[in-house]
Amino acid sequence: MGEIMSFTAVLARHGKTLGAVAFAVSASLGSSAQAGINETISDALKFGQKDAKYGQIKLNLRLRYENANTEETTLNTGEAFTARLRLGYLTPEFKSFQVFAEFEGNQDIGINDYNTLRNGTLRNKGHDVIADPQDTEVNQLWLSFKGIPDTVVKVGRQRIKIDNDRFIGNVGWRQLEQTYDSILVVNKSLPNTVAKFGFIEGVKRIFSDTHQHSSPFFNVAYDFKGVGKITGYAYFIENEDAAAASSQTFGGSLVGAQKVTEDVKFVYRGEFASQSDLDNNPNGYEVDYFHVNGGLSAFGVTIKGGVEQLGGEGSVATDLNRFQTPLATGHAFNGWADVFLNTPGFGLRDVYGMVVAKVYGVKLMGVYHDFTDDTGNMDLGQEYDFLVAKKFGKHYSLLAKYVYYNADGFATDRQKFWIQAGVSF
């Protein structure tokens, strides 16, 4: 009952402000989303040339209010109202070469009672964590080459998203995303096959700091008609600034969908990986990972359930000999409360069910998680996630999201909610 009262109190406190923001954004979407105005903006960002012969400016603006409340602690509720801007320039292609440069900045607007987990924010250390520091940075700066048949080579700071971001992703949920100082090669020369391989030298993290790496990776996916996409991968993550996060992972997955009737599909995923310590990691371990799910999709509604398990060899949560995914988009897995961004030392088993629907263009999503250790004997709590999102054409979006984690004695209960608006050209 306490969590509902807390949620209501926050709405009462900031209801007028949030309502005004939502109303203003909705009103602007209603007028700006007309095709003529969008076309005018797009043409202006291409310097008046529809074919972008002089290149084009890329723009992304995201406004977000986030509220984070960990109950039964001395921490004050974390609140942040932030504006994130990305502004970049993509050159036209010249002799198979192309360059992209992008600036990124995040600024709080009036409400900034939160701990960013970064040095220099000690005044807010007594508040809950919201990992969106105020900063400006070069988000991307890369050179690509397409002169080799069926191949793209990209060198520099860039966004990398591999498969479902479980091992290498951009952490796109946070205001400052994660990008990589790296070389990435994507080859499609074999039929129905996409091969990605590269080398990561540095990781620009969501805190706007950089970890040095020596991390090669390989990922090959084959589209097996009638079966699904079969992927094999090897990730050698050597973090020179955080040795305990270094690991080598070998695995594979099968993802697909099969028609049951003309209107109903059976969707499924199966994945297995094995991980052990690598080079400079002082902790010796060898653990496994698996993820299986399945469900039905029909008439704009998908219902599915699954189990994701990350192994651990430790006896307490803080042990480091456990399956880890330090470069993942962790928020997308094991609950939006972010309790399990780091796998507990005794492992994690996440049994979940979800419903996703689209009603009149509005995306609705609900997810239930039941967490235990990797043996299923230790209760680590339950979580309830809810989302409502709407896109207005190609360029505008609104989103509201709420999560409640019931610790059930493992940690402390917590809840978070977000209201967000975005513009992208």
Alpha-carbon distance 135 to 204, whole Å?
13
- Helix axis angle for 2-32 and 35-45, nearest 10°, is 80
Report the range of poorest mean pLDDT among 114-123, 206-215, 288-297, 407-416: 114-123
Q: Token pair of 237, please?
A: 């993550």
What does the pLDDT average to over 170-185? 98
31 pLDDT band, cuts 50/70/90, is low
Q: Spell out a b/e string for 12-32, using b for 16 or more CB atoms within 10 Å of the CB, else e.
A: eebeeebeebbeebeeebeee
> Is residue 122 predicted with pLDDT exceeding 50?
no
17 pLDDT band, cuts 50/70/90, is low
160 pLDDT band, cuts 50/70/90, is very high
Contact 378, 390 (CB under 8 A): no
Report the range of poorest mean pLDDT among 7-16, 123-132, 323-332: 7-16
4 pLDDT band, cuts 50/70/90, is very low
241 DSSP 8-state letter: S
In the chain, what percentage of residues exceed pLDDT 70? 91
Alpha-carbon distance 194 to 252, whole Å?
14
Element containing residue 385 per DSSP (H, E): strand 379-392
For the chain, how many structural domains are there in total? 1
> Is residue 8 predicted with pLDDT exceeding 90?
no
Q: Are strands 301-310 and 135-145 parallel, antiparallel or unpaired?
A: unpaired
Element containing residue 421 per DSSP (H, E): strand 414-424
> Is residue 314 predicted with pLDDT exceeding 50?
yes
Closest CA to 25 of 68, 83, 67, 79: 83
Which residue is listed with tokens 């690509």?
144
In the chain, what percentage of residues exceed pLDDT 90? 85
- Torsion over CA: 334, 335, 340, 345 (sign): negative
Spacing of C-alpha 2 from chain mean position: 29
Bridge partners of residue 76, in order along the sequence: 127
What does the pLDDT average to over 286-291? 98
Q: Token pair of 200, please?
A: 């990561």
> Is residue 172 predicted with pLDDT exceeding 80?
yes
Contact 396, 420 (CB under 8 A): no
> Is residue 63 predicted with pLDDT exceeding 60?
yes
One DSSP character per residue, 69-92 reads EESSSSPBPEEEEEEEEEEEEEPP
Residues 6+ apart with CB under 8 A from 30: none
What does the pLDDT average to over 402-413? 95
Strands (E), 15-166: 56-70, 78-90, 97-113, 135-145, 151-158
What does the pLDDT average to over 186-195? 98
One DSSP character per residue, 22-38 reads HHHHHHHHHHHTSHHHH
How confident is the model over 346-384, as pLDDT tens digits? 999 999 999 999 999 999 999 999 999 999 999 999 999
Dihedral in degrees, nearest 10, Cα atoms 293, 298, 302, 306: -20
Provide the residue range defining the domain that includes 82: 2-424
What does the pLDDT average to over 141-156? 98
* pTM summary value: 0.92
The chain-wide mean pLDDT, for the chain, equals 92
Strands (E), 225-346: 228-237, 247-259, 264-277, 286-298, 301-310
Q: What is the CATH number of the domain that holds 33?
A: 2.40.160.10
What does the pLDDT average to over 259-285? 96
Q: Which amino acid is at 220?
A: V
> Is residue 32 predicted with pLDDT exceeding 80?
no
> Is residue 1 predicted with pLDDT exceeding 50?
no
How confident is the model over 236-269, as pLDDT tens digits? 999 999 999 999 999 999 999 999 999 999 999 9
How confident is the model over 33-51, as pLDDT tens digits? 467 889 899 999 999 998 9
Q: Residue 172: helix, strand or coil by DSSP?
A: coil
Predicted pLDDT at 34: 61
Query: 13 vs 7, 18, 24, 115, 135, CA distance in Å?
Result: 10, 10, 19, 20, 28
Predicted pLDDT at 110: 87
Alpha-carbon distance 329 to 326, whole Å?
9
Predicted pLDDT at 64: 98
Residues 6+ apart with CB under 8 A from 340: 334, 348, 350, 371, 380
Report the range of poorest mean pLDDT among 18-27, 171-180, 359-368: 18-27
Strands (E), 163-263: 179-187, 193-204, 210-224, 228-237, 247-259
